[in-house]
Amino acid sequence: MDFKRTHYIGDLNSSMEGKKVTVGGWVEDMRELGKLSFLTLRDVTGVAQIVLVGEEALSQIKELTRQSVIRVTGIIQKSKARDFAFEIKSEKLDILTLAVQPLPIDPIGRLESNIDNRLNARALDLRNQKTAAIFKLRHHALQSIRKTLIEKDFIEVNTPKIIGSASEGGANLFSFKYFEKQAYLAQSPQLYKEQLTMGLERVFEIASYYRAEKSHTVRHLTEFTSVDIEAAFMDYFDVMDVLESVVANVFEYAANFTAETKALGIEIKKPSTPFEKITYKKAIEELARDGIKLAFGDDLQDAHLRKLGERYVGFYFIIDWPMKLKPFYIHEKDDDPTLSHSFDLQHGYLELSSGGTRLHDPVKLKSRLKEQGLDPNQFVDHLRAFDWGMPPHSGWGLGLDRLMSILTKIDNVREVVLYPRDPERLSP
């Protein structure tokens, strides 16, 4: 069977009148008008009207079902239809795959489907132009991120996702038997990317990570995509600048794809830079003025961040967090060891990224592990690298899925992930 095509539908236009083309895609709609039949054919680039004439073609259309996959060879001609500048008069129609009826969802969107039904039929859901637009924009966002980081001399790396020890203290890890050993799914590349700064200096990774949290919110997943960087000879202000560039460039680049933004009914604007920076101390002082009393060292909960988000619209950093709230590898401030060289990137109430300057002194690192109730013996491989001359370094992790939620103006993070995993969803 020949199933190749000569053109994508998006490559065709009315100036090609009289040209023979072969296109392929799925049937969105069909209608019969006497001795003529019409169908709308869509591929990943666009939609075209097909005109069917003749007994053979008319008999074929009676076999067709909506969403079936076909291949059409025909001549481009002007169209009288209001929605099409041209159409294809079919000379040959090949039915490649018939779609069963009824379908579990309507990908055209005439009938509304809830998110769970759409996720259960995700492959079919991608024929919905709004859904497809989300993942085309995600693709463009990833392109932009890689371009920005490579231009800043970062090298893309891959670190293990099956690990032998708890990378950040052991909380919320998926554990399993790895042959006869205890193993875990990585919740971040933190320890590996720190080690890699020894020889590669500036590294980044875009990968899936795992957290065994039974969170039932629109912004938490058990499997999520993170963008991580680590850079030698940079402090936390330096890597904040990198993060700011990454985020701003994603929005600027994505704004160019008007077909996708139109499908989603959104407008994308590059955020103004630099992003505002407020200290943790200032944050709790402002909350106090709103009647929310927090002791120094208390974490900022969702309700607190929502209140701050009313004041700080868009992207902003919260910097200089108390040491007690940060992981063992974060560097303390020289002038006040109760504070850390750390930051969170917020968009309103939503945390997108966390980062900071890391400890590079192995003696301090071992001491910090003990202070936080962690056993240095569980980090032997990591600590050994610090004995070989670890440069000062800083880094961050950015939640790509949450960034896409903001970019697309979609609240539920499951909608911007192809096959999301949460405490209830393990398939498809």
pLDDT in tens, 196-216: 999 999 999 999 999 998 888
Non-local CB neighbours of 420 within 8 Å, separated by 6+ positions: 119, 221, 223, 413, 414
Residue with tokens 């296109």: 23
pLDDT of residue 168: 66
Structure tokens at 359: 């400890």
> What CATH homologous superfamily does 9-97 map to?
Nucleic acid-binding proteins (2.40.50.140)
Architecture of the 123-416 domain: 2-Layer Sandwich (3.30)
**What DSSP element (H or E) covers 178?**
strand 175-178
Percent of the residues in the chain that have a pLDDT greater than 90, as a whole number: 88
Residues 306 and 23: their CA atoms lie apart, in Å, by 50
Query: Cis omega before residue 271 (within 30°)?
Result: no
**What DSSP element (H or E) covers 343?**
strand 342-347
pLDDT in tens, 121-136: 999 999 999 999 999 9
Cβ-contact 25, 9 below 8 angstroms: yes
pLDDT in tens, 249-289: 999 999 999 999 999 999 999 999 999 999 999 999 999 99
pLDDT of residue 216: 84
Q: Which residues pair with 224 in a beta bridge?
A: 209
Cβ-contact 93, 71 below 8 angstroms: yes
- pLDDT above 90 (res 91): yes
pLDDT of residue 339: 98
Residues 95 and 8: their CA atoms lie apart, in Å, by 18
pLDDT of residue 110: 87
pLDDT of residue 165: 78
366 burial class (0-12, 13-18, 19+ CB within 10 angstroms)? middle
DSSP labels for 5-70? -S--GGG--GGGTT-EEEEEEEEEEEEEETTEEEEEEEETTEEEEEEEESHHHHHHHHH--TT-EE
Residues 9 and 25: their CA atoms lie apart, in Å, by 9
Sorted by where each begins, the domain ranges of the chain are 9-97, 123-416
Q: Which amino acid is at 314?
A: G
Residues 239 and 357: their CA atoms lie apart, in Å, by 9
Residues 360 and 381: their CA atoms lie apart, in Å, by 15
At 181, the pLDDT band (50, 70, 90 cuts) reads very high
pLDDT of residue 257: 98
Q: Which amino acid is at 116?
A: D
At 397, the pLDDT band (50, 70, 90 cuts) reads very high
391 DSSP assignment: P
Indicate the average pLDDT of the chain: 95
Residues 154 and 9: their CA atoms lie apart, in Å, by 38
Instruction: Among 37-41, 78-82, 87-91, 155-159, name the one with the lowest average pLDDT.
Output: 78-82
CA atoms within 13 A on the CB side of 115: 13
pLDDT in tens, 34-78: 788 999 999 999 999 999 988 877 788 888 999 999 999 999 999
Residues 66 and 28: their CA atoms lie apart, in Å, by 6
Residues 28 and 186: their CA atoms lie apart, in Å, by 42
Residue with tokens 């120094």: 296
Nearest in space to 76 (alpha carbons), one of 19, 120, 131, 130: 19
> Which contacts of 305-313 are long-range, i.e. CB under 8 A and separated by 24 or more positions?
305/346, 305/348, 305/349, 305/350, 305/351, 306/348, 306/349, 308/283, 308/346, 308/349, 309/346, 309/348, 309/349, 309/350, 311/286, 312/276, 312/278, 312/346, 312/348, 313/348
Question: Between 162 and 164, where is the model more confident?
Answer: 162
pLDDT of residue 262: 97
CA atoms within 13 A on the CB side of 75: 6
- pLDDT above 80 (res 317): yes
SS3 240: helix
Question: Between 227 and 170, where is the model more confident?
Answer: 227
- pLDDT above 90 (res 325): yes
